Amino acid sequence: MNIGTLMARPEIGTAFAWIDAHADDIVAEAIRICEIPAPTFDEGERAAYVRSRFEALGLADVTIDAAGNARARRPGAGGGPGVAVAAHVDTVFPRETDVTVRREGGRLLAPGIGDNSVSVAAMLGVLGALNAAGVRTDGDLFVAGNTGEEGLGNSRGMWAFLTDVRDRVGSAVAVEGMEVERIVHVAVGSRRYEATFTARGGHSWQDFPSPSAVHIMGRAISGIADLAVPDEPRTTFNVGVASGGTTVNTIAARARMLIDMRSVDAGALAEIERRVLEVVRASAAAGHGAVALTLVGDRPAGAIPADHPVVQQCMAIHRALGIGVYTEAASTDHNVPLAMGIPGVCLTIAEGANEHRLDEYLEIAMVPLSVKKLLLAVVALAAPQPAAA
Residue 282 has pLDDT above 80, yes or no: yes
> What mean pLDDT is predicted for residues 262-274?
97
Please give the sequence-ordered ranges of beta strands (E in DSSP) within 204-325, or none if there are none: 235-244, 250-251, 254-263, 290-299, 302-303
CATH of 3-186+301-381, one of 3.40.630.10, 3.30.2350.10, 3.40.50.300, 2.60.120.10: 3.40.630.10
Q: What's the pLDDT at 199?
A: 98
pTM of the model: 0.93
Phi and psi dihedrals of 253, rounded to 5? -95, -10
Q: What is the mean pLDDT of the chain?
A: 97
Please, which residues bridge with residue 175 across strands? 347
Contact (Cβ atoms closer than 8 angstroms) between residue 373 and residue 203: no
In whole angstroms, what separates CA 146 from the centre of its chain? 9
Give the model's pLDDT for residue 388.
Answer: 58
Are 56 and 72 a contacting pair, CB within 8 Å? no
The reported pLDDT for the residue numbered 178 is 87
Contact 286, 234 (CB under 8 A): no
Secondary structure, 3-state, 312-328 = HHHHHHHHHHCCCCEEE
100 burial type by CB count under 10 A (0-12 exposed, 13-18 middle, 19+ buried): exposed
- Whether 38 and 90 have beta carbons less than 8 Å apart is answered as yes
Yes or no: domain 189-299 corresponds to CATH 3.40.50.2300? no
Q: Is the pLDDT of residue 389 over 60?
A: no
Q: Given this model, what pLDDT does residue 387 score?
A: 65
pLDDT tens across 199-246, in order? 999 999 999 999 999 999 999 999 999 999 999 999 999 999 999 999
Domain boundaries, the chain: 3-186+301-381, 189-299
Share of the chain above pLDDT 70, in %: 99
Report, as an integer, the average pLDDT of 330-359.
96
Phi, psi of 95 (to 5 degrees): -55, -35
